[in-house]
Amino acid sequence: MKIVVLEPLGLAEEEIVSAFRNILGEAHELVIHNDRVDDIEKLKERAAGADVLVIANMPLNGEVIRSVDNLKLISVAFTGVDHVDLEACKERNILVCNSAGYSTSSVAELTFGLILSLLRNIVPLDGRTREGKNKDGYSQRDLCGKTLGIVGAGAIGLKVARIGKAFGCNVIAYNRSVKDNLKEMDIRQTTLEEVLSESDIVSIHVPLNENTKGLINKEKIDLMKESAILINTARGPIIDNEALAKALMEGKIAGAGIDVFDMEPPLPLDYPLLHTPNTVVAPHVGFATKEAMIRRAKIVFENILKWIEGNPQNIM
């Protein structure tokens, strides 16, 4: 069986090979591409003859998928699969698996990094300190006692909720379905509108799909307190980032911490959120800790093993 890794997985090649051999042994051919290409014809050439493709967050369109005659499985080294043409996979009876859970703690930890950076003005004060200045003009706010609103109570949202409670936050949550976990944690599940209007911090943790694209639009941002901050470590298009930038410029909310955008960084220099006040941005790093990269490589190859054994897991 030929297994082709179409893009870098955040690990050295020898680490990928080691994870592969530990799980799948020596019986299969492994081809690793250590650079990412966008050219369709080049991707077709790289994917040719593969029984299994491995990608991370690189878009994989139907033209490439349909060109691979033997393709039976796509093992995605990512939680979301909205960058894969699932219709083409369905048409060709190709199974798609994701790497659920590999970055749950990593994304949750970055969420609080962004929250604390904003509440304590860490980024601008670092610059002032290096310039021989003090904290004058910059506020300092506690996290303890704040109302933390979770939008999306999946694995990452629940992890953020638990950490929030450990910090002494009053945690409330919105989720489309009733979550017993929230009740067990003594967290009130309520409407999206109430989460937005009552929270001092709103943190986004829903997947991107046709129901959540543009979920946090101008109308929803207008419900937030002027003193509130908005955090997005989920997927960029869930928020209308132009509306968010306008709200920040007009002081309608107090700040934003953003790790995901409606395109993958590098961002154009005129991207609106690069020029808004009280905004901390990161180039989509929430998932990318060393430990998470090792976890996801194991999941990717375990997905393949389970499929070979006739007991596929993490099916999308």
* Cα separation values, 41 from 44, 47, 57, 61, Å: 5, 10, 19, 12
**pLDDT on residue 16:** 96
For the chain, the domains span: 2-102+289-308, 104-281
Catalytic residues: 235, 264, 284
Q: Mean per-residue pLDDT for 268-278?
A: 97
Domain covering 104-281: architecture: 3-Layer(aba) Sandwich (3.40)
Q: Which residues contact 67 (CB under 8 A, 6 or more apart)?
A: 44, 47, 48
Quickly count helices (H) and strands (E) in the chain.
Answer: 12, 12
Q: Mean per-residue pLDDT for 245-249?
A: 98
* N-to-C CA span, the chain: 22
Tokens found for residue 107: 């994304």
Question: One fold for both 2-102+289-308 and 104-281?
Answer: yes
Tokens found for residue 75: 């093992």
Amino acid at 129: T
Instruction: Convert the pLDDT of each residue in 59-111 to its tens digit.
Output: 999 999 999 999 999 999 998 898 999 999 999 999 999 999 999 999 999 99
Instruction: Convert the pLDDT of each residue in 44-61 to its tens digit.
Output: 999 999 999 999 999 999
- Four-way CATH pick for 2-102+289-308: 3.40.50.720, 3.30.70.270, 3.30.572.10, 3.90.230.10: 3.40.50.720
Whole-model pTM over 0.85? yes
Taking the CA atoms of residue 95, residue 101, residue 106 and residue 107 in that order, the dihedral angle to the nearest 10 degrees is 70
**Cα 45 to Cα 33: distance, rounded to the nearest angstrom:** 12
